[in-house]
């Protein structure tokens, strides 16, 4: 009986800890073929009210910037760098620098050159940090897998 009570207490405490994990950013993905040999992959961050994520273009010594990493593939090649919508830019005293960030939502785009006429899977990860006026959550990595048809 004592083992059952301990097991139930462990399960209950694990559920409480899981409920406390903050996830203020949700990611969605899409791809659009722009020609027979090119496509654009879209990454949309939907950000909870009061929270923000940072631009890809944050200088050294600043907050955690958003970073896209693409898995190597024989099916496509990246064309240029990942582009982002215009961030809000302001001077952050904490970092002693201008910092770009996004509220509510951010859209990123990556052009690719298709090397195959077949369906192509674009895989990789996004690392980002999210903050509100009181706290920042540790940097998070989110895997993505977008199909180009």
What's the CATH number where 116 sits?
A: 2.60.40.1250
* pLDDT number for residue 18: 42
CA distance 27 to 140: 12
Number of domains in the chain: 1
The residue with greater pLDDT, 14 or 41, is: 41
Look at residue 67 and tell me if it is in a domain: yes
- Asked if residue 13 is part of any domain, the answer here is no
Cα(41)–Cα(77) distance, rounded to whole angstroms? Answer: 12
Q: Is residue 6 part of a domain?
A: no
pTM of the predicted structure, to 2 decimals: 0.83
Q: Residue 12: is its pLDDT beyond 70? A: no
Query: Which pLDDT belongs to residue 66?
Result: 98
Written as six digits, the tokens of 28 are 């969605």
pLDDT at 20: 60
Q: What is the pLDDT of residue 21?
A: 76
Say if residue 15's pLDDT is above 80: no
Asked whether residue 59 is assigned to any structural domain, the reply reads yes
44 within some domain: yes
Per residue in 108-129, pLDDT (tens digit) is 999 999 998 889 999 999 999 9
- B/e letters for 7-45, b = 16+ CB within 10 Å, e = fewer, are eeeeeeeeeeeeeeeeebbebebebeeeeeeebbbebeb
Non-local (6+) Cβ contacts of 109 within 8 A are 40, 41, 42, 43, 82, 83, 84
Q: Is the pLDDT of residue 54 over 90?
A: yes
Which range of residues forms the domain containing residue 78? 24-148
């Amino acid at each position: 009986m004592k083992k059952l009570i301990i097991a139930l207490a462990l399960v209950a405490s694990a559920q409480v800890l899981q409920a406390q994990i903050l996830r203020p950013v949700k990611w969605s993905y899409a791809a659009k073929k722009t020609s027979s040999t090119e496509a654009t992959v879209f990454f949309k961050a939907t950000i909870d009210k009061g929270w923000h994520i940072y631009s890809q273009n944050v200088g050294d010594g600043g907050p955690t910037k958003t970073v896209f990493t693409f898995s190597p593939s024989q099916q496509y090649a990246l064309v240029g760098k990942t582009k982002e919508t215009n961030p809000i830019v302001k001077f952050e005293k904490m970092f002693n620098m201008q910092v770009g960030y996004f509220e509510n939502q951010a859209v990123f785009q990556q052009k690719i050159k298709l090397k195959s006429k077949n369906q192509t899977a674009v895989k990789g990860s996004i690392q980002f940090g999210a903050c509100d006026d009181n706290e920042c959550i540790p940097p998070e990595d989110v895997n993505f897998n977008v199909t180009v048809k």
